[in-house]
Amino acid sequence: MRCPFCGHEETQVKDSRPHEDGAAIRRRRICASCGQRFTTIERVQLRDLVVIKADGRRVPFERDKLARSVKIALRKRPVDAERIERIVNGLVRHLEATGETDIPSRDIGRQVMETLREIDSVAYIRFASVHWDFRETKDFADILGTISASVSGDAGEDFPPPGPKNKD
């Protein structure tokens, strides 16, 4: 592991422990050259996932981009950072468990929305407004009506509001 401070190639592991409910390993390291200490986190990667965008482009899956999107949706909501990390880990494990290496971005968005819907309706609406590319207030009213109907038991499971397009 290269030292982030001086770039030296040799570092020594001082401590290793499970991280994120065993889904990763946290390692404390020390540089053999400059003596600086730093932490690395290693995660198991079952396969290289590729995201297929709406326009047909193929891009490598980025866990950090998924985590950033979930964090933005949950910003200033009563969900702690540890739970957000578990949510992201669960989403990534679900994507890897499908057995597919090529995953359409709309499927990733749908999975994130299903997860957020169970956790926080405000975060769900925030994420949906970007995923479905809301253009006007009517789009928000449609989804709010759907959420209200689902709370009262009148809505179905899959409920994208009419009108907005999926934006990748």
Most confident of 64-68, 124-128, 138-142: 64-68
Vertex 22: Cα angle to 101 and 116 (nearest 5): 60
pLDDT in tens, 63-82: 999 999 999 999 999 988 88
Q: Is 155 a residue whose pLDDT tops 50?
A: no
pLDDT band at residue 168, thresholds of 50, 70 and 90? very low
The contacts of residue 122 (CB under 8 Å, 6+ apart) are 77
- Reported as a single tens digit per residue, the pLDDT across 30-52 is 999 999 999 998 877 666 899 99
What is the structure's pLDDT at 132? 75
Residue 158: per-residue pLDDT: 46
pLDDT band at 131 (very low <50, low <70, confident <90, very high): confident
pLDDT at 85 over 80: yes
Q: What pTM, to 2 d.p., does this model score?
A: 0.63
Q: Judging by DSSP bridges, how do beta strands 102-104 and 50-52 pair with one another?
A: parallel
Please give the pLDDT value at position 124.
86
Give the residue with greater pLDDT, 1 vs 166: 1
Which has the minimum average pLDDT: 25-29, 78-82, 105-109, 135-139? 135-139
User: How high does pLDDT run on average in the chain?
Assistant: 83
pLDDT of residue 64: 92
Residue with the larger pLDDT of the pair 135 and 12? 12
How far is residue 137's CA from residue 13's CA, in Å, rounded to a whole number?
53
